[in-house]
Amino acid sequence: MPKKLIVLVLALFAVSAFAQNSFSIKGKIIEEKNKLPIEAATVYLSVVKDSTLVDYTISNKNGDFVLNVKKTDKPTFLKVSMVGFEDYKLSISELLKAKDFGIIPLKEQAKQLGEIIVKAEAPPIRIKKDTLEFNAASFKVRPDANVETLLKQLPGVEIDSEGKITVNGKEVNQILVNGKPFFDKDGKVALQSLPSDIINKVQVTETKTKKEELSGKAATSNNASINLTIDEDKNKGLFGKFMAGYGTDDRYESSGLINYFKNKRKISVLASSNNINSIGFSMDEIFDNMGGGRSRSVYYNDNGSFGLNGMRFGGGSGITQSDMVGINYSDALSKKADVNGSYFFSDQHSKNNNRTRQVNFATNRNFITESASEVKNDRFSHMAKMEFEFKIDSTSSIVFTPNFSKSTGKDRTKMAQASKDLNELLLNESTSQTFDESDGNNFKSNIFFNKALNKRGRFINVSFENENARDNVTSYNKSATIYYQGTTPDDFRDQVKKNRNLSDTYFLNTEYSEPLKDSLKVDLALEYNWKKNSKDRKAFNYDATEQSYSDENEFLTNYLTSTIRTVKPSAGFSVNKKNLNFSVAGGTAISDFDNHSLYRDAVTDLNRKYVLPYARANMNYNFTKSIHAWMGYTYEFDFPTADQVLPVEDLSNPLVTYKGNADLDLNKNHNIYLGFSNYDYASRSGYSFYAGGDYYESQVVASTKIEDGGKRFTTYTNVRDTYSSWMGGNWSKSLKQEAHKFRFGFGMNANFGLTKGFNNDKLYEAQSTRLTPRVFLNYDYGELLTVSPSYNFTYSDTRYNNYPLDKATNVLHRFNVQVTNYWPKNWVFGNDFGYTYNSNIADGFKKDFYLWNTSLAYSFFNKKFTAKVKVYDVLNQNQSATRTISATTIRDEQNTVLKRYAMFSLTYKIEKFAGKEKPSRGRFMMH
């Protein structure tokens, strides 16, 4: 208790001392010409001697600004910057007391003919019409920090525990480097692998499609995009790092990343190999490659896995040994042609033991299924992606983006499971051994052409997309299923199924835009969509006489195809003003839906035609430069699969028989979303709110009958008036007092849904609620210490109608604290400690565990080398036990996880720019 009291007294003393030595300066920014106030002008103080940034603020909608500063006798500059106006600079010999600078007029920038390059000191923040721009040098980060660390310092930017990035309430779904993808548009490689000190500016805009980008249309997305621009003097050079480590239990990791930048030409190569569920190329010097703990970043899922373009590297359930190599190339082939491309090769080898207990709901009686399995997976994959952009002339552009991926795999599974009723009486039990070999490839491309016509805002564009996927799977299965109740006969199988799945999609769209006024446009569009899916399965039983799989099984052999052709003419208009972007479009979709099957020499065809409405609307409104609202609406429909509409039995699962319903209607739903954000850059605080949902006027759901022995017969039907919705918000604030910097906030996510289905011919309903509040704090003491505690709470509640069970509830608590110490010089000591408690998981599954990761690193030879010792799961308590509640089951599951290991690693960095070793460059520090 005395220690806590001393800390509290010292904290109060520090605040009091700061208050006594601080005061406010204020003023009003106006336009010199017409005397109107200027909103969102950047006002900042910098030291005359070395241009060190003291502090900054933003003027409000009335042009007023207030800046809290401390006493200083050093000469400083008061600077004001605003796009379209000349910079204002006032020399101040000393600041010893509060001061009102009165009205500060800004002169409008004179328009110059020809190209004139003006170099000036960049303000910390610029707020333009559609771009929020941060000067990276104005935000303090540790030397050698990565880009993700830089983003965390920017006001209004949040990175949550799941790695989702939001800027002023909008989720970031695209990160570019100098306007181009760095390996991929999701930016995960760039955030982790690029050092922050090569970044010049961080620009935030609304995410645009390629059509919107080239045609100049306003964005209709509710997502944000980040563009990282590289310092001019860092855009010519070579930098990267190489790392190797070995530890206990034969754990190892190795990685290499090298980047060569020369103006617009950028070549990057990365590679890694490890058996610790990691991607392996992180610039994080403290907790790198310890995914699967609470030290998650934008890279890692709970299990340490990393996904890129649908491909998984590392992770997955269990323990994975993975190897990966990738290359990214970007260049300007000429003044009119740009190219960007990447290639990845990866292989993963995983082992996992799984244990599951599942409560299955039925309208007459519930039953429990328990299972245990051993799984081994081997995956090999190639992925190549290119983007070519060619400017035909000043009014025409064409973009071509081909993508190709190929993967092969081998999966081995041994499983045993048993189902019992609530009186512990056996319903059925089964054992199985399966071995799957898969070989798939996918090719997709997009060609986009845009032509600006002889009037500003008038254009025509044409786009063509295709995706062609082929997947061959050979599945060997040896199983025994025994039923103890009812009349269902036992089922014994020793067979092979050869599956060939094809999917082809072609999409053609043309659009014409005609401006009626400066802010009003009319859009006419026509699109054609053709899609065909087919499943061809041949099954053979094992013939003991021939000692081969040569006995064709007619009950498991089938062929299904589904073809959808849709023509969609539409018309709409858009309004684009200074503070408002609004667009609406609608039309009619005319579709042919053709399905075909061949099963046991019987042909079944189902052909239908549909005429359906189509509608969408989007709006973005800026109340001020810092207060924004957005919303959108779409009416959508999609088709059921051939399996769901063709009345043909599927007997491939001995526990479940499936059969389609020829009377099925389509899925039809209304989607709506809205958001609001208000971030005050002057006070470094802000909040955001979002909400959205889907309301289904028609939805395809399962209708299942369950026999006494637990055998299920499932078909499909339509229900009405179901929905899924979500909402959430967050608030954050930053404070700075001398060497103390605080950043704290809280947030809440909520999900609400209503699911319906049929069980034993009775309609059931499941109404679900999920609440996830969270709080966080980040404290920095200069460059010596960082402490980051956080707490997440997840409450899940589902209430049922027409089940023996009325409701199911689960509560999950997650507490985490990261403490990083950077003293003494060249040493870094990091600790990541977390506690997880799962309240209602079933008996036999551990409810809670601690996970503590620690590392100690020492840098030497001018920080070119770093030696590190790290221990993962110090307490040897890590586990993976989860509870999932759905409309039809409660599932408790446990998988294999990495346990305690220690590892020593050595890292070497190379950084040469413009032919020289990287100089030590001082950044603007926030004093």
Per-residue model confidence as pLDDT tens digits over 412-428: 999 999 999 989 999 99
Distance CA 244, CA 254 (A): 4
Average pLDDT over residues 233-247: 87
Average pLDDT over residues 457-461: 91
Longest CA–CA separation in the chain, Å? 101
pLDDT at position 114, please?
A: 45
In this model, does residue 458 exceed pLDDT 60? yes
Q: What is the pLDDT of residues 474-532, one digit of tens each?
A: 999 999 999 999 899 999 999 999 999 999 999 999 999 999 987 899 999 999 999 99
Question: Which of 502, 491, 348, 488 is CA-nearest to residue 431?
Answer: 491
2-to-5, 6, 7, 512, 836 alpha-carbon distances in Å: 5, 6, 9, 74, 30
Alpha-carbon torsion (474, 479, 485, 487), positive or negative: positive
Residue 639 exposed, middle or buried by CB count within 10 Å (0-12, 13-18, 19+): buried
Phi, psi torsion values for 147, nearest 5 degrees: -65, -35
In this model, does residue 547 exceed pLDDT 70? yes
Q: Are strands 180-181 and 199-206 parallel, antiparallel or unpaired?
A: unpaired
Half-sphere exposure of 409 (CA within 13 A, CB side): 23
Q: With H, G, I as helix, E, B as strand and everything else as coil, classify residue 624.
A: coil
Q: How confident is the model at residue 304 (pLDDT cuts 50, 70, 90)?
A: very low
| % of the chain at pLDDT higher than 70 | 90
Q: How confident is the model at residue 315 (pLDDT cuts 50, 70, 90)?
A: very low
In this model, does residue 9 exceed pLDDT 60? no
Average pLDDT over residues 545-569: 95
pLDDT at position 571, please?
A: 97
pLDDT at position 606, please?
A: 97
Give yes or no for a contact between 298 and 314, defined as CB atoms under 8 angstroms apart. no
Distance CA 564, CA 637 (A): 13
Q: How confident is the model at residue 117 (pLDDT cuts 50, 70, 90)?
A: very low
pLDDT at position 161, please?
A: 63
Q: What is the pLDDT of residues 136-160, one digit of tens each?
A: 888 877 766 788 888 888 888 887 7
How many residues appear in the chain? 927
pLDDT at position 166, please?
A: 85
3-state secondary structure 369-410: EEEEEEEEEEEEEEEEEEEEEEEEECCEEEEEEEEEEEEEEE
The mean pLDDT of the chain is 87
pLDDT at position 641, please?
A: 96
Average pLDDT over residues 829-845: 92
How far, in whole angstroms, is CA 38 from its chain's centroid?
A: 36
Average pLDDT over residues 571-590: 93
Q: How confident is the model at residue 916 (pLDDT cuts 50, 70, 90)?
A: low
In this model, does residue 3 exceed pLDDT 50? no
How far, in whole angstroms, is CA 500 from its chain's centroid?
A: 32
Q: Which two tokens stand for residue 676?
A: 């609001």
Distance CA 288, CA 866 (A): 13
Residue 564 Rama label (left phi>0; alpha psi -120 to 50; beta): beta
pLDDT at position 566, please?
A: 97
Count the neighbouring beta carbons within 10 Å of the beta carbon of residue 605: 9
Q: What is the pLDDT of residues 769-818, one digit of tens each?
A: 999 999 999 998 988 899 999 999 999 999 999 998 899 999 999 999 99
Question: Which of 568, 695, 573 is CA-nearest to residue 634?
Answer: 695
Phi, psi torsion values for 742, nearest 5 degrees: -115, 140
In this model, does residue 8 exceed pLDDT 50? no
In this model, does residue 36 exceed pLDDT 80? yes
Half-sphere exposure of 924 (CA within 13 A, CB side): 22
Lowest mean pLDDT among 217-231, 456-470, 558-572, 895-909: 217-231
Average pLDDT over residues 426-440: 96
pLDDT at position 240, please?
A: 87
Task: Measure the CA angle with vertex 889, ends 883 and 895; round to 5°.
Answer: 35
pLDDT at position 17, please?
A: 46
Q: With H, G, I as helix, E, B as strand and everything else as coil, classify residue 898.
A: coil
Q: How confident is the model at residue 283 (pLDDT cuts 50, 70, 90)?
A: very low
pLDDT at position 143, please?
A: 66
Q: With H, G, I as helix, E, B as strand and everything else as coil, classify residue 626.
A: coil
Question: Which of 873, 895, 872 is CA-nearest to residue 882?
Answer: 895
DSSP one-letter string for 236-269: EEEEEEEEEEEEGGG-EEEEEEEEEEETTEEEEE
Average pLDDT over residues 623-636: 91
pTM score, whole prediction: 0.86
pLDDT at position 288, please?
A: 57
Q: Which two tokens stand for residue 399?
A: 């973009």
| % of the chain at pLDDT higher than 90 | 61
pLDDT at position 915, please?
A: 52
Lowest mean pLDDT among 161-175, 506-520, 719-733: 161-175
Between 456 and 525, the more confident residue is: 525
